[in-house]
Amino acid sequence: MKRERCDILIAGAGPAGTSAAIAAAGKGVKVIVAERRGAVGIPIRCAEYIPKPLLGELKLPPTFVVQPVSGMRTFSANGSVKEIRAPGLIVSRARLDRMLAEAAVRAGVEIRLSTRVLGRQMETVFLKGPDGSVTAIEPRVVIGADGPCTTVGRWIGSENRNLMPAVQAQVPLAAAMEITEIYFDPEVFGGYCWLFPRGERANVGLGLKRRKGRKLNLKELLHRFIERMAREGKIEDRVLAYTAGWIPADRPRRVVSGNVLLAGDAAGHTHSITGAGVSQAVFCGRMAGDWAAEAVRKNDLDLLEKYEAQWRELFEDVLERAFQRRRMLEAEWDRLDEILPQCWVAFKEYYRG
């Protein structure tokens, strides 16, 4: 068995992992990223919307942007419509993820594709490479950016215990749109359907909370929504591609223990009402990389607690509010039209209390 050492080992080459890698490598430490997939950025598990201000924070050429959007239109179950100004960007997540990975490599990071994190024994982490060989690596710090079903999180007892399934299809768009659309449907418990324009195409999907005793076919629900959007003349009823994934929907929790940090979806840094997580992944990944590098350079693992404090200062209130609104949404789902203003971000009532 091959043995290695590095300063920081990062599991996952999504936006959280590569942002952490770029930040850490910029401080002169040795960083290895293990990505279980054979290519960065695919398959896509994202509706591909980001808030417009994030563009400047990414420090990348905007070639990953597909189109801008100016607002969001929310359709309640009773047919009422709420439209707000919400400047954002629809992006190619595959291209964005690749560009972040390329920036990490330019910064001196080693990214190993088709490499799975198997487990940990004491201070040794075991990686399985593309040829099936196992490498024992001793990192001084580990950053888990390995998604909703995090392996690294299990090592420190910090897992996402409340995951929502989501499915999405890419379809031809009937006519150009510059606004995202959200649809609430009593059948889509605890979640919603979406239509996000993407140039000549659209991302059409839904995410929901499973209920005990009720079996739901997500793909069937998705196709019902696609048929509805086609009847309304917004899209063509022709699926070009499918994708699916999990959305963390927990309250904020501790994500630092010993020499291990979590960031992004692995840390539950996801808005449990909207499902949005790219911004948090980039910012928290960057913070995790910064503090991991500082801990290595100063040989002081206690500095990792600074990361816990910093991400909480920036995001805890927003994420906790989302969690509380989710509890209300699920508990009062039978009164969806009445409670929606308190539970959805398009309404001013959401931000009160």
CATH of the domain at 236: 3.50.50.60
CA 249 and chain centroid, separation = 11
pLDDT at position 1 is: 80
Instruction: Tell me the CB-side half-sphere exposure of residue 175, using CA atoms within 13 A.
Output: 3
Number of domains present in the structure of the chain: 1
Local structure of 301: helix, strand or coil: helix
Answer left, alpha or beta for residue 199, where phi above 0 means left and psi between -120 and 50 means alpha.
left
Domain that holds residue 325: 2-351
This prediction has a pTM of 0.95
Cα gap 267→312, rounded to integer Å: 12
pLDDT at position 211 is: 83
For 314, the enclosing helix (H) or strand (E) is helix 304-331
* Burial of 304: CB neighbours in 10 Å, binned 0-12, 13-18, 19+: buried
Nearest 5 degrees, angle CA 250-CA 252-CA 256?
120
Cβ neighbours of residue 116 under 8 Å, at least 6 residues apart? 34, 36, 127, 128
Cα gap 149→168, rounded to integer Å: 19
Q: 351 vs 51, 66, 180, 273, CA distance in Å?
A: 18, 30, 21, 13
Tens digit of each residue's pLDDT, the chain (353 residues): 889 999 999 999 999 999 999 999 999 999 999 999 999 999 988 999 999 999 999 989 999 999 999 999 999 999 999 999 999 999 999 999 999 999 999 999 999 999 999 999 999 999 999 999 999 999 999 999 999 999 999 999 999 999 999 999 999 999 999 999 999 999 999 999 999 999 999 999 999 998 877 777 899 999 999 999 999 999 999 999 999 999 999 999 999 999 999 999 999 999 999 999 999 999 999 999 999 999 999 999 999 999 999 999 999 999 999 999 999 999 999 999 999 999 999 999 999 97
Local structure of 287: helix, strand or coil: helix
Cα gap 119→142, rounded to integer Å: 12
